[in-house]
Amino acid sequence: MPYRLLADLVVILHLAFVAFALFGGLLTLKWKRIVWLHAPAVLWAAAIEFGGWVCPLTPLEIWLREQGGETGYRSSFIDYYILPLLYPASLTREMQFVLGVVVLAVNFAGYAWVWRRWRKNL
């Protein structure tokens, strides 16, 4: 049971990281220094997608599930709703490339918007 819980927490952490990488730039409107955490997160997320690599959180989650005696995902809220967002069955290299471009484009647009707001307030 504790391994299952830890594995679910890793999935939630993974999803939170993805959300932060995509939309965390908007946090700079309130906290300007968050850029020092967000920019490396964006670069890491894009590198994972462009490189076709597996995020280290994925093997950790699988290991935790195996330690808990699981061989696959059972149907639960996390399994049904969150896991497909992180691990779509139809993910291809081309889709990974598109996801990498989306991460960069969303953040470029977000930072451009934030930059204009900062300059306007000066």
pLDDT tens digits, one per residue of 7-60: 889 989 988 998 999 899 888 888 889 999 999 999 999 998 899 888 888 888
Percent of the chain with pLDDT over 90: 28
For residues 12 and 83, what is the distance between their CA atoms, to the nearest angstrom? 9
pLDDT at 78: 56
- What are the residue ranges spanned by the domains of the chain? 2-121
> Mean pLDDT, the chain, as a whole number?
85
Would the pLDDT of 76 be above 60? no
pLDDT at 92: 86
pLDDT confidence tier of residue 77, bands split at 50, 70 and 90: very low
**36: which residues sit within 8 A by CB, 6+ positions away?**
none
| Dihedral of alpha carbons 78, 55, 14, 95, sign | negative
Q: Where does residue 117 rank: exposed (0-12), middle (13-18), buried (19+ CB within 10 A)?
A: exposed
* Number of other residues whose CB lies within 10 A of the CB of residue 39: 15
Closest alpha carbon to 102 in 21, 35, 39: 21
pTM for the full model?
0.74
Average pLDDT over residues 74-102: 75
